[in-house]
């Protein structure tokens, strides 16, 4: 498994801790920045890099960290094929995969402790999409096509 990770300055510390956790689990990590927390950067730039990487099939999943996870999710969801979810706990992390077939997880570095975030990331990666939601996912894809016209 390969996970593309990205963050702005507010999510840098969390991204670094989660990337280390993933490497420790034997998961491949494609780190697309940012590379420190001292320089303010714009979260849409990193959301775009990670989302495009997942959409191109260079990574199985994306992980995006900003202050809240919200900006990252809004930006990543503009990339066709991306279903980015900002989650709040282990349960919503699982549901984002099983019900919503999310392929990018967005977490808030200013809101979560590292152990909480690790629990959510592990739950997200271990959960499996449920087939019964396929029709709804197809309708999300239809909205992308409609927007492209
Ligand atoms: C940066 O200050 C902050 O606005 C950003 O990290 C994020 O929380 C936006 O959603």
Domain coordinates of the chain in residue numbers?
A: 2-148
Residue 99 appears among annotated catalytic residues = yes
> Which pLDDT belongs to residue 149?
74
Catalytic residue among 65, 99, 106, 133: 99
0.95 surpassed by pTM: yes
The closest residue, in CA terms, to atom 7 on ligand 1 is: 67
**Residue to mutate, 7, 8, 40, ligand 1, most ligand atoms under 8 Å from C-beta:** 8
Catalytic residue status for 88: no
Residue 25 to residue 55: CA distance in whole angstroms: 24
Residue 122 has pLDDT above 80, yes or no: yes
The residue whose CA is least distant from atom 10 of ligand 1 is 71
Q: What is the CATH number of domain 2-148?
A: 3.40.1400.10
pLDDT computed for residue 96 by the predictor: 98
Q: How far apart are CA 94 and CA 101, in angstroms?
A: 10
Q: Which residues contact 78 (CB under 8 A, 6 or more apart)?
A: 51
- 38-61 per-position pLDDT tens digit: 999 999 999 999 999 999 999 999
């Amino acid at each position: 498994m390969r996970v593309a990770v990205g963050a702005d300055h507010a999510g840098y510390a969390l991204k670094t801790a989660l990337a280390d956790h993933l490497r420790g689990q034997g998961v491949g990590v494609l780190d697309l920045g940012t590379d420190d927390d001292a320089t303010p950067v714009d979260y849409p730039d990193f959301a775009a890099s990670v989302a495009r990487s997942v959409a191109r099939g260079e990574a199985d999943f994306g992980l995006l960290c900003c202050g809240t996870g919200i900006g990252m999710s809004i930006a990543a969801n503009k990339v066709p094929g991306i279903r980015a979810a900002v989650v709040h706990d282990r349960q919503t992390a699982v549901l984002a995969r099983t019900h919503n077939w999310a392929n990018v997880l967005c977490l808030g570095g200013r809101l979560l402790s590292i152990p909480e975030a690790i629990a959510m990331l592990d739950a997200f990666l271990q959960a499996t999409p449920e087939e019964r939601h396929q029709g709804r996912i197809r309708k999300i894809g239809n909205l992308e096509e409609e927007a492209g016209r």
